[in-house]
């Protein structure tokens, strides 16, 4: 009898992570990475498994959870976000769900700064010009963007990633304003100005960066009414989740110039991207790269395995339980 628990992978993971998994588990590798397993295929992948490792893109719906085998004890997601998993359905089945916070904070904050700078300094347009071979040369007025240094950065969601973005923005002499349900203690706030409401925050933002989770309460958070509260020409950065912004409202504001630019790493309905984002000149677009460094992706995988190990190898509570 094989004493190792069965671990079903719903995604192809970095080599070092798959190697560690194979050391401790009877691993069922993911048959495909794209499109991500979902529905019946995801259920079939989990047949007879003790643990299931998923990631954003694997829709772990109530229907999927209802059909998962009785053998399954834990679902570990290779992500900090868990909006792709129906936690209520998991709780109803006594399934443990874990995520991978902390280890991707710096990488994601770096990408938020890249989106901020890319949008403000028209990096997408500039790169496209260079690749097209149509640059006519330096002129005093060519491709002028918006200065970031000394501007006001508004942050919605001052958790780990929000605070890491604030830390980076301080190096650009940006003034930090933020909204979070809980104000930070002064030693952590480091002068950042707390606003009780998103509406109270928005008029103080030359740049707005979103770092809240995707929940029913944050769906469409940046709608037309709230965008109107931003100063004209403000820059929007979204590295959180696509549904946190109302695409139609953001696109309309970008076309009118009320939003000066947007730097986006996440989208509603990924990998689909609203076609207007691709056409508009004042967008800087990345393909959900927030955590995409080798170091971070390995750390995420090891963290997911740490959580699985706690439950399946040692019978302990996992460090990062979300359900």
Shortest reach from residue 80's CB to ligand DGY, in Å: 4
Shortest Å distance, C-beta 14 to ligand DGY: 13
Question: Which residue in the list 241, 258, 274, 303 is annotated as catalytic?
Answer: 241
Sites of contact with ligand DGY (CB under 6 A): 56, 79-81, 104, 290-291
Q: Is 241 in the active site?
A: yes
What does the CA dihedral 166, 170, 173, 174 come to, rounded to 10 degrees? 10
Closest separation between CB of residue 10 and ligand DGY, Å? 14
Of 87 and 193, CB closest to ligand DGY? 87
The vertex-112 CA angle with 108 and 118, nearest 5°, equals 135
Give CA separation, 3 vs 263, 297, 319, in Å. 49, 28, 24
> Residue 50 gets which letter from DSSP?
S
Q: Cα separation of 82 and 39, whole Å?
A: 17
Q: Which is nearer to ligand DGY, 14 or 56 (CB)?
A: 56
Is 58 within 8 Å of 42 (Cβ atoms)?
yes
Pick between residue 90 and residue 227 the one whose CB is nearest to ligand DGY.
90
Look up 23 and say whether it is catalytic: no
Catalytic pick among 127, 270, 295, 316: 270
Nearest alpha-carbon partner for 204 in 195, 213, 216: 195
Instruction: Kindly state the smallest distance separating residue 59's Cβ from ligand DGY, in Å.
Output: 14
- Residues 306 and 44: beta-carbon distance below 8 Å: no
Residue 270 annotated in active site: yes
- Residue closer to ligand DGY, measured from CB, 110 or 206: 110
Catalytic amino acids?
A: 241, 270, 288
């Amino acid at each position: 009898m094989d004493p190792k628990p069965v671990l079903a992978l719903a995604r192809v993971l970095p080599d070092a992570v798959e190697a560690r998994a194979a050391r401790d588990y009877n691993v069922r590798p993911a048959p495909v990475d794209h499109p991500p397993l979902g529905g019946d295929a995801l259920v079939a992948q989990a047949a007879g498994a003790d643990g299931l490792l998923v990631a954003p893109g694997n829709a772990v719906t109530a229907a999927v959870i209802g059909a998962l085998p009785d053998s399954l004890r834990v679902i570990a997601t290779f992500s900090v976000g868990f909006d792709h998993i129906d936690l209520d359905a998991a709780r109803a089945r006594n399934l443990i769900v874990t995520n991978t916070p902390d280890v991707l904070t710096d990488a994601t904050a770096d990408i938020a700064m890249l989106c901020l700078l890319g949008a403000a300094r028209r990096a997408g347009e500039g790169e496209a010009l260079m690749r097209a071979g149509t640059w006519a040369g330096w002129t005093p007025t060519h491709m002028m963007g918006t200065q970031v240094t000394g501007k006001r950065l508004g942050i919605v969601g001052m958790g780990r990633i929000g605070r890491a973005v604030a830390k980076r923005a301080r190096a650009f002499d940006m003034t930090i304003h933020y909204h979070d349900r809980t104000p930070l203690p002064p030693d952590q706030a480091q002068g950042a100005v707390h606003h009780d409401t998103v509406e109270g925050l928005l008029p103080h933002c030359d740049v707005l960066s979103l770092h809240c989770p995707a929940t029913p309460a944050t769906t469409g958070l940046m709608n037309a009414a709230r965008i109107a509260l931003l100063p004209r020409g403000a820059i929007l950065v979204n590295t959180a989740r696509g549904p946190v912004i109302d695409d139609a409202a953001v696109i309309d504001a970008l076309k009118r110039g009320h939003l000066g630019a947007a730097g986006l790493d996440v989208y509603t309905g990924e990998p689909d991207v609203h076609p207007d984002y691709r056409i508009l000149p004042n967008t800087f677009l990345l393909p959900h790269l927030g955590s995409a460094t080798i170091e971070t992706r390995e750390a995420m995988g090891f963290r997911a395995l740490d959580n699985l190990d706690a439950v399946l190898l040692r019978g302990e509570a996992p460090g990062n339980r979300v359900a």
